[in-house]
């Protein structure tokens, strides 16, 4: 049986932290080697990750260096880039070439919401995936999802051919009215669809928990990292096929494979601790951003939205760090637009899987970091 940890290729190590395309290939190769050495096989990439370089990085680090039956590859159709039906075959073939494979083990319609479902209906994207599966170019088909439970219910009813669903699940979003993790998960279970979990550590925010939460975790198990609690929480859910983790360095990878090598579900006492931790963290995070960068990739002002949100959250959680956060904000703003330069065009909010009020939050950030 495949181990329940997947390597998400969305946050790979970089040689230049300001350039998402500058993947540190030597470090990534070492991480991939270690991952596979410990018996893990699942690699998750996508067309837009790392400015289009993630799929190529997978080819160089894994596909060229291991036999095809030694690893599992999943990628995704960028629904927002499809203007007409012929675009799907062109992009799909480009992805096969980028990844260096003849077929994908798993392939998704990427980040579906109501607007994108309408678009994919118009070009019969569902039929395209089914045809690619019938031709042997995909082994399993499904979709990743970022919208409300009502839409998910519609898709599951209308498209029984979809075999898997990729959902955002973590203990902080489990009862979130915006994300609806629990309701969406329960719908998948009801319809018999295995779930792949994305954002189990919520873009890294559940790896850097408030001191009160860290004490809760350490008092129970001094050796367990905050990230381990988050990933084990998701992997403990019945019906979860695998949990993706976007690992950025060898330290994170070693931590993850350490506790997922012989995975043990959370017990009742650990579940209760997670419940208390959730209450504390929910009160401490100002902006619930996962740093997926969907918002900033099309920003006409090149505003570093996730980076600014992270700095603002750090300052809110640790007020004594305001000086350092302001210093770093000014450094980032030298090569990116400032928060105050937002045009309020709204493209960022249209792309945000977390449904964050980005425009209003950028005003808060401008006031916090640019008012002095």
User: Residues 145-197: pLDDT tens digits?
Assistant: 988 899 999 999 999 999 999 999 999 889 876 678 999 999 999 999 999 99
Query: Distance of CA 227 to CAs 6, 157, 214, Å?
Result: 14, 35, 11
Q: At what angle do helices 358-370 and 322-333 cross, to 10 degrees?
A: 110
pTM assigned to the model: 0.83
pLDDT of residue 328: 76
pLDDT digit string (tens) for 302-339? 999 998 998 888 788 767 778 878 877 888 898 899 99
Query: To which CATH superfamily is domain 5-283 assigned?
Result: NADP-dependent oxidoreductase domain (3.20.20.100)
* pLDDT-derived band at 284, boundaries 50, 70, 90: confident
Question: In the chain, where are the structural domains located?
Answer: 5-283, 305-370
pLDDT digit string (tens) for 183-217? 999 999 999 999 999 999 988 889 989 889 999 99
pLDDT of residue 41: 97
pLDDT digit string (tens) for 118-131? 999 999 999 999 99
The rounded mean pLDDT for the chain is 94
Distance in angstroms (rounded) separating the CA atoms of residues 223 and 235:
19
> If DSSP codes are grouped into helix, strand and coil, which group holds residue 105?
strand
Least confident of 24-33, 155-164, 169-178, 223-232: 169-178
Q: Decide which of 29 and 372 is more confident.
A: 29
pLDDT of residue 318: 66
Residues 6+ apart with CB under 8 A from 177: none
Residues 6+ apart with CB under 8 A from 312: 286, 287, 325, 361, 364, 365, 368, 369
Specify whether the backbone of 120 is left (phi greater than 0), alpha (psi in -120 to 50) or beta. Answer: alpha
| Nearest Cα to Cα of residue 147 among 174, 116, 120, 175 | 116
Q: Is 32 exposed, middle or buried (0-12, 13-18, 19+ CB in 10 A)?
A: buried
Distance in angstroms (rounded) separating the CA atoms of residues 272 and 291:
28
155 close to 117: Cβ distance less than 8 angstroms: yes
- In the predicted structure, residue 77 carries a pLDDT above the cut 90: yes
């Amino acid at each position: 049986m495949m181990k329940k940890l997947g390597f998400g290729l969305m946050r790979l190590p970089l040689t230049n932290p300001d350039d998402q395309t500058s993947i540190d290939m030597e470090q990534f190769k070492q991480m991939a080697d270690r991952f596979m050495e410990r018996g893990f096989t699942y690699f998750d990439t996508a067309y837009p990750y790392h400015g289009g370089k993630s799929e190529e990085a997978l080819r160089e680090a894994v596909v060229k260096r291991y036999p095809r039956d030694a690893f599992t590859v999943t990628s995704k159709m960028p629904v927002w880039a499809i203007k007409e039906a012929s675009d799907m075959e062109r992009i799909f073939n480009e992805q096969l070439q980028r990844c260096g494979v003849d077929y994908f083990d798993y392939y998704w319609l990427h980040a579906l919401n109501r607007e994108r479902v309408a678009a994919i209906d118009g070009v019969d994207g569902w039929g395209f995936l089914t045809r690619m599966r019938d031709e042997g170019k995909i082994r399993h088909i499904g979709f990743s999802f970022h919208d409300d439970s009502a839409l998910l219910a519609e898709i599951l009813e209308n498209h029984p051919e979809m075999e898997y669903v990729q959902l955002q699940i973590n203990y902080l979003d489990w009862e979130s009215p915006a994300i609806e993790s629990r309701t969406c998960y329960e719908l998948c279970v009801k319809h018999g669809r295995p779930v792949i979990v994305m954002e189990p550590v919520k873009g890294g925010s559940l790896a850097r928990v408030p001191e009160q939460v860290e004490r809760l975790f350490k008092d129970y198990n001094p050796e367990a990292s905050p990230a381990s609690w988050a990933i084990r929480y998701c992997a403990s859910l019945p019906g979860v096929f695998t949990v993706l983790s976007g690992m950025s360095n060898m330290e994170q990878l070693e931590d993850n494979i350490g506790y997922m090598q012989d995975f043990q579900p959370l017990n009742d006492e650990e579940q209760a601790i997670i419940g208390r931790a959730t209450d504390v963290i929910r009160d401490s995070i100002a902006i619930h951003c996962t740093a997926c960068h969907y918002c900033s990739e099309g920003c006409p002002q090149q505003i570093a939205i996730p980076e600014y949100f992270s700095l603002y959250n750090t300052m809110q959680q640790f007020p004594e760090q305001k000086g350092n956060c302001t210093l770093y904000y000014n450094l980032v703003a030298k090569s990116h637009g400032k928060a105050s330069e937002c045009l309020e065009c709204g493209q960022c909010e249209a792309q945000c899987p977390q449904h964050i009020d980005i425009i209003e939050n950028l005003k808060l950030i401008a006031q916090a970091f640019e008012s002095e």
